[in-house]
Amino acid sequence: MKVNLQLNPLSAWVKKEGKPLIIAGPCSAESEEQMMQTCSELKNIGVDMLRAGVWKPRTRPNSFEGYGLKALPWLLKVKKELGLPTTTEVATPEHIEQALKYETDVLWIGARTTVNPFNVQDIADALRGVDVPVMIKNPVNPDVALWVGAIERIYQAGIKNIAVIHRGFSNFQKSKYRNDPMWQLAIELKTILPEIPLICDPSHICGRRDLIQAVSQKALDLNYDGLMIESHINPVVALSDAEQQLTPHDLGKMLESLQMRNNNSENAFFINQLEDLRQKIDNLDRELIEVLAARVRLVEKIGEYKKDNNVTIFQLERWDQIFKTRPEWGKKLQLTEDFIAEIFKLIHVESIRKQTEVMNKRDLNIS
Do 322 and 243 share a structural domain? Answer: no
Which backbone phi and psi does 22 adopt, to 5 degrees?
Answer: -115, 115
Q: Which of 257, 287, 314 is the last residue of a domain?
A: 257
Average pLDDT, the chain: 93
Do 349 and 200 share a structural domain? Answer: no
What does the pLDDT look like over 145-166, one tens digit per residue? 999 999 999 999 999 999 999 9
Do 321 and 224 share a structural domain? Answer: no
Do 273 and 225 share a structural domain? Answer: no
Supply the pTM of this predicted model.
Answer: 0.83
Do 101 and 246 share a structural domain? Answer: yes
Q: Which of 257, 287, 313 is the last residue of a domain?
A: 257
Residue 262 lies in a domain: no
What does the pLDDT look like over 60-69, one tens digit per residue? 677 788 899 9
Strand partners, 50: 24, 86
Do 175 and 228 share a structural domain? Answer: yes
For residue 200, how far is the Cα from the chain centroid?
Answer: 7
Burial of 4 (0-12, 13-18, 19+ CB in 10 A): exposed
Of 108, 58, 30, 48, the residue nearest 251 (C-alpha)? 48
What does the pLDDT look like over 236-265, one tens digit per residue? 999 999 999 999 999 999 999 999 888 788
Domain count within the chain = 2
What does the pLDDT look like over 50-93, one tens digit per residue? 999 999 776 667 778 889 999 999 999 999 999 999 999 999 99
- Rounded Cα gap, residues 264 and 89, in angstroms: 34
Do 199 and 71 share a structural domain? Answer: yes
pLDDT at 58: 67
Q: Could you tell me the pLDDT band of residue 7, with boundaries at 50, 70 and 90?
A: very high
Do 185 and 65 share a structural domain? Answer: yes
CATH number at residue 91: 3.20.20.70
Q: Which of 257, 283, 309 is the last residue of a domain?
A: 257
Do 247 and 351 share a structural domain? Answer: no
- Rounded Cα gap, residues 317 and 299, in angstroms: 16
Non-local CB neighbours of 21 within 8 Å, separated by 6+ positions: 10, 14, 48, 49, 197, 199, 225, 226, 227
Strand partners, 198: 164
Angle among Cα 262, 254, 167 to the nearest 5 degrees reads 75
- Rounded Cα gap, residues 90 and 126, in angstroms: 11
Residue 54 lies in a domain: yes
Provide the domain limits for residue 350. Answer: 268-360
Do 232 and 94 share a structural domain? Answer: yes
Residue 211 lies in a domain: yes
